[in-house]
Amino acid sequence: MILTVTLNTALDLTYTVPALAPHTAHRVTDVAERPGGKGVNVARVLAALGHEAVVTGFAGGPTGAVLRDLLAPLPVRDALVPSSDTTRRTVAVVDTATGDATQFSEPGPVVTPGEWAAFVGTYEELLGGADAVALCGSLPRGIHVGAYGELVRRARRAGVPVLLDTSGEPLRRGIAARPDLVKPNADELAALTGSREPLRAARDARRRGAHAVVASLGPDGLLAVTPDGTWSAAPPAPVAGNPTGAGDSAVAGLLSALAEGVPWPGRLARAAALATATVYAPAAGEFDAARYGELLDLVTVTEEATAA
């Protein structure tokens, strides 16, 4: 079983419009509603790849109830902890003329100390049956900034490999707890290390505590700096579409390959192919399965020089 943690879950709404223009009214041609948050998206992709996936985090209020109703028919086990405050929504507006997406994210709920304690108890129980765990996304209000560091340490004590995918101070605190893998994007990596040069920044992130670093570089693919070597993975060509959830699919690819014992080049190829196939899909947490199969053979994985 692979456990994904989404402390700040969301109900994801995707609006499709013929063309997005400021200061005008828009006729929405399609609406999609999905259970969301980074770890929820990761779990959905893991399940589609054939893995048992469990989601935990918080869900509350009317929005949280809708989220759980939407989760119920999916091949993902719901272990979300109730919160008294309501779950947030995110809205992505997809412009069909350009293929671009614009996203709006509401603030998350306020989590009480008692709710946090209940979550930690659930997390500890789930770790007992987990092959790997992913800690994903932002922190809702009320949770201390070092929360991910605490969860990383609990996973390490349980002997469960842990991937951290967050940003800002939660990433800085979490990486110091020595996660097995961190997966920042280029901006998050630069904010953490102060360097815009991806290879230098990824090496710096490893020195800060991460066992391995996989950086998402947008259309340029992925860069992995690991104890076993350094590799880059590039998709065959840039694609237009909705990039929401592409990084989450990359996380699912890395976790699924880790659970299956796939070596690093294969892990990167899977992650890059899934991320690209997600851009073709209409909503986060989904990927174009046919294109994924094609892309897996087309991703280029290159070993980089290992000198620091």
Residue 95 annotated among the catalytic residues of the structure: no
- Indicate the average pLDDT of the chain: 92
* Residue 189 scores a pLDDT above 50: yes
Kindly tell me the sign of the dihedral angle through the C-alpha atoms of 61, 165, 280, 56. negative
Read off the DSSP letter of residue 141: B
What are the strands, taking DSSP E only, across 30-131?
Answer: 30-36, 53-60, 77-78, 81-83, 88-95, 101-105
Question: What tokens were used for 289?
Answer: 């399965």
CA distance 239 to 221: 12
Q: What is the mean pLDDT of residues 48-58?
A: 96
CA distance 234 to 302: 9
Query: What band does 306 get if pLDDT is binned at 50, 70 and 90?
Result: low
Q: What is the mean pLDDT of residues 171-199?
A: 95
* Residue 308 scores a pLDDT above 50: no
Question: What tokens were used for 83?
Answer: 């919160």
What integer pLDDT is reported at residue 126 of this predicted model? 98
* Pairing of the two strands 53-60 and 132-136: unpaired
Question: What tokens were used for 143?
Answer: 């949770």
Lowest mean pLDDT among 90-99, 153-162, 257-266: 90-99
**Catalytic residue of the set 69, 248, 288, 297:** 248
Q: Which tens digits make up the pLDDT trace of 125-181?
A: 999 999 999 999 999 999 999 999 999 999 999 999 999 999 999 999 999 999 999
* Pairing of the two strands 222-226 and 213-216: antiparallel
CA distance 29 to 45: 26
Instruction: Name residues whose C-beta falls within 8 Å of residue 294's C-beta, 6 or more positions apart in sequence.
Output: none
* Residue 32 scores a pLDDT above 70: yes
Q: Which tens digits make up the pLDDT trace of 270-290?
A: 999 999 888 877 665 678 888
Return the SS3 of 302.
Answer: strand
Instruction: Name residues whose C-beta falls within 8 Å of residue 248's C-beta, 6 or more positions apart in sequence.
Output: 38, 39, 41, 42, 45, 136, 165, 278, 284, 285
Query: What type of residue is 42?
Result: V
Q: By the 8 A CB rule, do 220 and 234 touch?
A: yes
